[in-house]
Amino acid sequence: MGHMCHMPVVEVDVETGKVKFLDYVAVHDCGTIVNPMTLAGHVRGGTAQGIGTAIYEEYTYAEDGQFLNANFAGYILPSIHEVPSNIRVGHVVTPSPFTEYGIKGGGEGGRMGAPAAIASAIEDALKPFGVKADFLPLTPTKLRGLIRQSTVNR
């Protein structure tokens, strides 16, 4: 399996709960690299998916169990405006002894590593408010609620 480390730097608007990425670095070890350029694209695409998981994508249901956001009008995906314009990608090469050519997984790491790293960055950004980012997705609405709750409880 591949390994990864994601390091986002975020800013949270305390009035709106909107998360802004100031910087984003993703370093992956996916064994022997066949094509560095396409691998970087896979990592960036996976990271975009991870951003969606962390702060946008959520199934919502009514009290009676009715699915409320069954289309893209209500199910929010990150667009080019929410994904960092320059996700810096680094590669580490540690060939796998278990696969032909030493290849490991590549782009999946963005989808898996990004949500936890983003939640941690958000919690760090909101440290003065004592906000705990212990669930996903951390939508702007939910973040604003956590910020309001923390300021009331002070």
Could you say which architecture CATH assigns to the domain 3-152? Answer: 2-Layer Sandwich (3.30)
Distance CA 75, CA 134 (A): 22
pLDDT at residue 141 in the model: 94
Summarize the confidence of residues 102-131 as an average pLDDT.
Answer: 91
Q: What are the tokens at 126?
A: 């909101």
Cα-based angle 144, 150, 154 (whole degrees, multiple of 5): 150
Pair of tokens at residue 75: 């199910």
| DSSP-derived secondary structure letter, 135 | S
The pLDDT tens digits for 70-105 are 998 889 999 999 999 999 999 999 999 999 999 988
Q: What is the DSSP letter of 50?
A: H
d(CA 38, CA 16): 36
% the chain with pLDDT above 70:
97
Mean pLDDT of 7-14: 97
Quote the pTM value.
0.90
pLDDT at 107 over 90: no
Q: pLDDT tens across 47-74, in order?
A: 999 999 999 999 999 999 999 999 988 8
Cα(32)–Cα(91) distance, integer angstroms: 10
Mean pLDDT of the chain: 92
